[in-house]
Amino acid sequence: PMGSERTEMRKRQMSTSQETPGSAQAQHSAGNRGPNACCFCWCCCCSCSCLTVRNQDEERARRASHELQAEGIPNCEESPAPTLEEVNAWAQSFDKLMLTPAGRNAFREFLRTEFSEENMLFWMACEELKQESNKSVIEEKARLIYEDYISILSPKEVSLDSRVREVINRNMLEPSQHTFDDAQLQIYTLMHRDSYPRFMNSAIYKDLLRSLSEKPIEA
């Protein structure tokens, strides 16, 4: 009996010594994991930071998508180089500036330096929409304009008051070439009152004017 008890005790000691390293390692891992374990751990709990990581990844992907869309936008409209007469005319009125592709290109370059290029891009998109006659194309372009410039989730959202936003939301129920007319007018007015005066005093405009003034007259 005594021999069998000693044998049983040895078995228990051996069993305990074999289990201890694994248990200690598991406890050590659990201790290191803490309340903010990541997705790479062998288990996840409700307090895991996986959701935070996932949200950050989705935000990065969304930003990258918009950046890729922005890269697809041409830097300027095709147009001949402006003449000195045209550039002088831009100083007479904002309307004359916006009437010519060269004027819009120069103004758009200035808006880019102020991080407000989306105003010109929105205005141009609305002008393009007005040229469409196909119903399905109109609906698709209206949807893209809304997502790019009206949605509060877009990094290119333009600044509009609540009244105009309500009008747009009603118009989007049945999009047409004139869905964004009120918004386009508001952005045009904003560019006229806010950005245009600064453009006229900017280095971009003055350098262009100077370069054309110094250019020799061709015979």
User: Per-domain residue ranges for the chain?
Assistant: 84-214
What number is the average pLDDT over the span 119-126? 98
Angle formed by the axes of helices 203-214 and 101-113, to 10°? 140
The 3 state secondary structure assigned to 81-132 is CCCHHHHHHHCCCHHHHHHCHHHHHHHHHHHHHCCCHHHHHHHHHHHHHHCC
Taking the C-alpha atoms of residue 99 and residue 86, their distance in angstroms, rounded to an integer, is 11
Please enumerate in sequence order all residues whose Cβ is within 8 A of that of 122, keeping only pairs 6 or more positions apart, or say none.
Answer: 145, 148, 149, 156, 158, 180, 183, 184, 187
- Structural tokens at position 4: 């069998």
**In the chain, % of residues over pLDDT 90:** 60
Closest Cα to residue 150, out of 182, 105, 191? 182
pLDDT tens-digit map of 47-95: 444 444 445 544 444 444 344 333 444 566 787 899 999 999 999 999 9
- Structural tokens at position 164: 């105009």
What number is the average pLDDT over the span 199-218? 90
CATH number of 84-214: 1.10.167.10
The single residue listed with the structure tokens 């050590």 is 28
Q: What pLDDT is stored for residue 78 in this prediction?
A: 81
